[in-house]
Structure 1
Amino acid sequence: MIRVLIERNIMDGLEDIYEESVRNILQSAIQAPGFLAGESMKDASNPLRRLTLSKWRSIQDWNNWNNSNQRTELMYKIDPMLSEPEKITILEHA
């Protein structure tokens, strides 16, 4: 089992639109094979920094979702709202 941390910095004024788009991504990810759980959070000290933490059965399951046409299409809507590219970190138990 792995966890995937996605860090995004959004442009000021796009918070509501971003939140709606992220909900769509999470709703789609729930249907992906190997998806176990996920949540979206806001940095308490920086309201433009968002984090998504998801749990996946395996790295392969994550890679399949990450490289899927469905996620790619959904990210086309989010990418223009970001002030820099998203950062993805794959975490596993030590």
Structure 2
Amino acid sequence: MIRVLIERHIAEDLVEHYEKSARETLQLAMQAHGFISGEALKNAYDPNHRLVVATYRTLQDWQRWAGSPERKEMMATLSPMLETEEKITIFEH
């Protein structure tokens, strides 16, 4: 089992648009092979700083989802709303 941490910084005035797109992305990810769970967190002191924590069965399951046309399409929508490129960190037991 692995945990994927995805850190994002949303551009000013795009939070509402981001939240809608991020929910859609999470719904798609939930259907991905090997997906176990996911949650979206907001920095208590900076509402534009977000963290997604996703749990996948294996690294290969995450890689399959990360490279999928569905995620690439959703990221094409999300990326313009971000101040910087998302930072992905993978943790394992």
Shift of 1:17: 0.5
TM-score w.r.t. structure 2 length?
0.98
Counterpart residue number, 2:32: 32
Q: CA RMSD in A?
A: 0.5
Count of aligned residue pairs for this structure pair = 93
Counterpart residue number, 1:68: 68
**In structure 2, what is the Cα distance between the partners aligned to 1:28 and 1:74?**
9
Counterparts of 1:42-61 in structure 2, within 5 Å, are 42-61=42-61
**In structure 2, what is the Cα distance between the partners aligned to 1:10 and 1:29?**
20
5+ residue gaps, structure 1? none
Measured against aligned partners, the alpha-carbon deviations of 1:3-33 in whole angstroms (never above 9, x if no partner) come to 0000000001110110000000000001000
1:19 and 2:19 aligned: yes
Q: Which runs of 4+ in 1 moved over 4 A?
A: none
**In structure 2, what is the Cα distance between the partners aligned to 1:22 and 1:39?**
11
TM-score w.r.t. structure 1 length?
0.97
Instruction: Return the letter of the residue paired with 1:12.
Output: E
Shift of 1:45: 1.2
What is the percent sequence identity of the aligned residues? 51
